[in-house]
Structure 1
């Protein structure tokens, strides 16, 4: 368990997934707690396991539309580092895990001090889903039911620390997963063809999934095998940050901002 200096530590009990019961105790009293006296229905198999948050960032080597995009250098920094660095600086995660099928990619990630995961042959195949990869990482890192994991897109370079912090603030509010979205207030063709056109101010905005990251309770994921699990929380992403690098042209379109961030990240220490 990690405590901030001067802060009162809290013990987290997990009767079911993210529905946590918190009791506040003095640090000096922790050794005096009789764990065996706790009601069975209130504790997990290891109540002394403090909840941990893990960031999982897949960087597959087989991109066909933009070869080696995950490690594409921008002013000397590989693309995946933009998202991973912000995740690490956010203070939300106990580990930032880079998972890849490529030893070369993992060597690059090691140079930046990230935790590494080499995928199995099954999880490296063209048929492996994101859920297959998540499941393997959760098990290989021995994550517990009370933990939370976040799948973060390496190709979303404009992550912000406050997005991760906003997600973490929701973890103990009775939800099982967290989804990112941005407000979308445009017309689809089926909304306007042959129909009376509404005024924009009368048109309700919709929530468009960004795919920048997803958070989920580990126990709930093991049960559902899905990264989006009801009940879920939401984190709103600004349109300016909702960028996915899928083609080289996407790099070109955002190169001034990417270069500015690269200079900033080089100066920052995790």
Structure 2
């Protein structure tokens, strides 16, 4: 049976919020909501935090998950996620058929239920190469034009700008909360597979990604509402 590895990439630097990944959110550091959701899902064989920052790794140890000290050159502002996953695979050496569930620590409203449902959906589609969590956005943007040159160019093709919205397909925006793929599919090009993708639909509200102090305030309000509803 293939194993399931949760990978939480959490570098130390952040411009918008200092030490964002461990910034206080109610009574816990931000990353704790992802660690606890991964543990509560009950579907993980291993949970790893990849970080260049010793303080973040100490928080990971406190919450009882495994740690991987990331190479500093993979923790810059401009560092993409794919090389971080590659480092994890080549150092931890999961089997080709094993599954990686990438969980961004800046999605505190993603729950254990979301993780379980997304993994079940991924397993139900054996022909897919990856799953990404998304939320639905207005399809009116398919009618947009791209500028920057002498003339405007239709964003989604010459006919879409004159098509009724109700006749246009649905649009989905990745929210960064969950990515799921097999090791062998990642290793094919050393990146999260960009083809044969299936969506896991989340609500707009639960898709909140922490980027600014105002996002932390919004997350605190939503988490407090959840707690109040659960206590009733």
TM range (shorter): 0.7 to 0.9
Q: Do 1:185 and 1:204's aligned partners in 2 also have CA atoms closer than 8 Å?
A: no
Q: Do 1:185 and 1:203's aligned partners in 2 also have CA atoms closer than 8 Å?
A: no
Structure 2: gaps (5+ residues):
146-151, 153-160
Q: Do 2:131 and 2:198's aligned partners in 1 also have CA atoms closer than 8 Å?
A: yes
Q: How does 1:217-228 map to 2 (within 5 A)?
A: 217-228=182-193
The number of equivalent residue pairs is: 216
Q: State which structure, 1 or 2, has the greater radius of gyration over its C-alpha atoms.
A: 1
TM superposition score normalised by structure 2: 0.82
**1:24 paired residue number:** none
Q: Do 2:129 and 2:181's aligned partners in 1 also have CA atoms closer than 8 Å?
A: yes
Change (3 A) 1:240 1:159: same
Q: Do 1:59 and 1:105's aligned partners in 2 also have CA atoms closer than 8 Å?
A: yes
TM superposition score normalised by structure 1: 0.71
**1:108 paired residue number:** 59
**2:123 paired residue number:** 171
Q: Do 1:51 and 1:146's aligned partners in 2 also have CA atoms closer than 8 Å?
A: yes
**1:243 paired residue number:** 208
CA distance in 2 between partners of 1:253 and 1:187 (Å): 26
Structure 1: gaps (5+ residues):
1-49, 265-270
Which residue of 187, 192, 195 maps to 2:140?
A: 187
Once superposed, what is the RMSD of the aligned Cα atoms? 2.8
CA distance in 1 between partners of 2:228 and 2:8 (Å): 22
**2:158 paired residue number:** none
**1:32 paired residue number:** none
**SS of residue in 2 equivalent to 1:168:** helix
**1:209 paired residue number:** 174
Deviation at 1:128, TM superposition (A): 3.0
In the alignment, is residue 150 of structure 1 matched against residue 133 of structure 2?
A: no
In the alignment, is residue 58 of structure 1 matched against residue 9 of structure 2?
A: yes
Q: Do 1:185 and 1:206's aligned partners in 2 also have CA atoms closer than 8 Å?
A: yes
Change (3 A) 1:174 1:197: closer
In the alignment, is residue 130 of structure 1 matched against residue 81 of structure 2?
A: yes
**SS of residue in 2 equivalent to 1:254:** helix
**SS of residue in 2 equivalent to 1:159:** coil
CA distance in 2 between partners of 1:86 and 1:263 (Å): 18
**1:233 paired residue number:** 198
Deviations 1:90-148 (A, max 9, x none): 12211111111111111111111111111023323445321111111122212110101
Q: Do 1:72 and 1:79's aligned partners in 2 also have CA atoms closer than 8 Å?
A: yes
Q: Do 2:143 and 2:162's aligned partners in 1 also have CA atoms closer than 8 Å?
A: no
CA distance in 2 between partners of 1:260 and 1:113 (Å): 27
